[in-house]
Structure 1
Amino acid sequence: MGFFYADEHIAFSLVHGGDWDDIFEEAPYSEFNWASPEELRLMASLVLCELRDDAYVSLYPVVRYSPRIDALDLDLTCPLTVHRVRELILNTIHEGQSPFGPHHRLLGLHGKKYDVVPAERYGFDRLLKFWNALSDASLVFFRGIYTLIKADMLRQHYEFNEEAILSLYIALDASFSLVKLHLEHKGTREPTAHDAAVWLHHHFDAPFGLEAPKATEKYFETFYEERVMTMHPASRYGDLPYAPIMHDDIPHLRRSLREIFAYLLLEEHGADFHADVQEHLARYPNTTGS
């Protein structure tokens, strides 16, 4: 249970639950596990509600600032709760002190204006589906969504677009692991990178009449060489003083991976995908959709 609120003056979320240590007994030590399980579950639910080629759910959470409200019974479905929490945070910022402990990160938000997007530009009709399905999602799935969010944060700064792509490469690897696991559950023994490419084509490209992958083609193969050269300055492709990547890689990977994660979680496409297929078939009636 949780909620997210945003207006041009403030954006925040409130969830029940504790840290990863509470549910993951063998969790490794980390100083970068800044989002709790339920915080990440809520953020993931929102991100997965994006529509194809429409506005991102572009979050920029305050890292390692997760105050806890001391309340035994808090109704998160009540609008009054939302209002009271909003006022508490705003008063904390204006007063320059925090009842929650260290507050310097909150103070840095004073006077900021948030860019808000009308809710109808997102598929929030599927929000509850995503939220419920995420209760059983794997740790790899959460890592994939986490790195999508980190990429969104990094791409806000032109100087860190290369690092945004690196974050998306982690999300890409997570999606590959999840697709292979999905194929195993569907009966494919020891699925390969080519099997994953065929799966991707069948579910996302074939309905638009795109050609099937060649016999040797691998999952997101066009990014393979760039990934190697980006992450290994010295490799079999030679020594490079910079990453051979482009800014366009960010929206391409970001949108593709978001949709793949959404499909893997619910095993269905959203209405926006089907609408795009119908529009394509109306424009190109000889295309074979599936």
Structure 2
Amino acid sequence: MERFGRSGPDQPAFELDNWTVQEVRFLAAIYLGNGESSGVRLYPLPIFRDIDEQAVDAVIEDETLLKPLLTPAATDDYFMAGNHGLLPQKLSQYQFFDWDDRRLEQATTFFSAADVNDPILVRGLHALLKSEMLFNHFQFRDASLASSHIALDAAYSMILRQLRTLGARNPSSYDAQAYMDEMYGVPHTQLKFFEDFYTDRVRNFHTDSRYGAEPIPFFSIDDIWDLNAALKGLFYRLVTGDLHDETRRNRDEYLRYNMIEVG
């Protein structure tokens, strides 16, 4: 890929923001490497700082490299405006993550495996990260879910691409879900790909669909939490070829709950 005369990791991920694909890769490694229930959530601040580091673990292990990102161009007044107590009120209230070695290892694994020249992957990760940023403000949670649905479509496209590589001529949504079931090591569900979220995606993107017209579609917060959690595990698996530890634990719990032998 090449944008604005630049190719590789330093090209902009999207014309209307300042992220490069390398930054998407780095931020996604922190976000996905911490697992499906990760409390890591980006907060949109008008800050720009360069970090002259290539390895994700160099930044994660040394908070002195990451902490300065929060200090320039941001004031306590900025944090006081409109967050309704949902976020820290001052810079001093932010805490840095105490990474254990295993989570750091998985974040680094994702960073190393992520292909910045895969436009579908970059688009999906970009949308998933933006979903979490939008979620910080309740006024934008419908937009947060819309970004999650874009990330879902990217994951779907990546699986269809893999199925075509394996010889499927016209893979369906059922085929995509079956492939995902096999990746996770669970019995085939006989469902369409992320079928539980299909209706919400249609209602969110189409103002007048077969489900009817709604002035403001109703969605629950769980719709975003559950979808984003599932997408974290799926993108990690698609990129690294392995299940994240937390995804594996959730898979094993699902199998035990349904009285299926854990392999």
Shorter-chain TM-score: which interval?
Answer: 0.7 to 0.9
Deviation, structure 1 residue 136: 5.0
In 2, Cα distance between the equivalents of 1:20 and 1:122? 38
Q: Tell me the residue number matched to 1:273.
A: 247
CA 1:243–1:122 in 2, change beyond 3 Å: closer, same or farther?
Answer: farther
Q: Which amino acid aligns with 1:253?
A: L
More helix by share: 2
2:28 to 32, 44, 48: 44
| Alignment of 1:187 onto 2:167 | yes
Q: Secondary structure at the match of 2:40?
A: coil
Deviation, structure 1 residue 262: 0.5
Would you say the 8 A contact 2:43–2:133 is kept in 1? yes
Q: Tell me the residue number matched to 1:66.
A: 48
Residue deviations 1:145-181 (CA, integer Å, cap 9, x gap): 1111111111111222111111101111111101111
2:118 to 138, 151, 155: 138
In 2, Cα distance between the equivalents of 1:30 and 1:181? 23
Would you say the 8 A contact 1:62–1:105 is kept in 2? no
Q: Which amino acid aligns with 1:201?
A: D
Deviation, structure 1 residue 218: 1.9
In 1, Cα distance between the equivalents of 2:69 and 2:95? 22
Q: Tell me the residue number matched to 1:56.
A: 39
Q: Tell me the residue number matched to 1:223.
A: 197
Q: Secondary structure at the match of 2:45?
A: coil
What does 1:79-228 align with in structure 2 at a 5 Å threshold? 83=64, 90=71, 93=72, 103=73, 108=78, 111-112=90-91, 113-120=93-100, 123-136=103-116, 138-204=118-184, 206=186, 212-213=189-190, 217-228=191-202
CA 1:205–1:247 in 2, change beyond 3 Å: closer, same or farther?
Answer: farther
Which structure 1 segments of 5+ residues have no match?
1-18, 94-102
Deviation, structure 1 residue 270: 2.4
In 2, Cα distance between the equivalents of 1:243 and 1:151? 17
* Bigger CA radius of gyration: 1
CA 1:239–1:111 in 2, change beyond 3 Å: closer, same or farther?
Answer: closer
In 2, Cα distance between the equivalents of 1:148 and 1:48? 10
Q: Tell me the residue number matched to 1:287.
A: 260
Which structure 2 segments of 5+ residues have no match?
80-88
Residue deviations 1:74-118 (CA, integer Å, cap 9, x gap): 898599x9748866985xx4xxxxxxxxx5789846942314443
CA 1:150–1:287 in 2, change beyond 3 Å: closer, same or farther?
Answer: same
CA 1:66–1:136 in 2, change beyond 3 Å: closer, same or farther?
Answer: same
Q: Secondary structure at the match of 1:248?
A: helix
**Deviating more after overlay: 226-235 vs 37-46:** 226-235
Q: Which amino acid aligns with 2:260?
A: T
In 2, Cα distance between the equivalents of 1:193 and 1:75? 37
Q: Which amino acid aligns with 1:66?
A: F
Q: Secondary structure at the match of 1:34?
A: coil
In 2, Cα distance between the equivalents of 1:243 and 1:88? 37
Instruction: Give the TM-score taking structure 2 as reference length.
Output: 0.76
Would you say the 8 A contact 2:49–2:69 is kept in 1? no
2:19 to 35, 39, 44: 35
Q: Secondary structure at the match of 2:221?
A: coil
Q: Which amino acid aligns with 2:210?
A: R
Instruction: Give the TM-score taking structure 1 as reference length.
Output: 0.70
| Alignment of 1:253 onto 2:253 | no
In 2, Cα distance between the equivalents of 1:47 and 1:84? 17
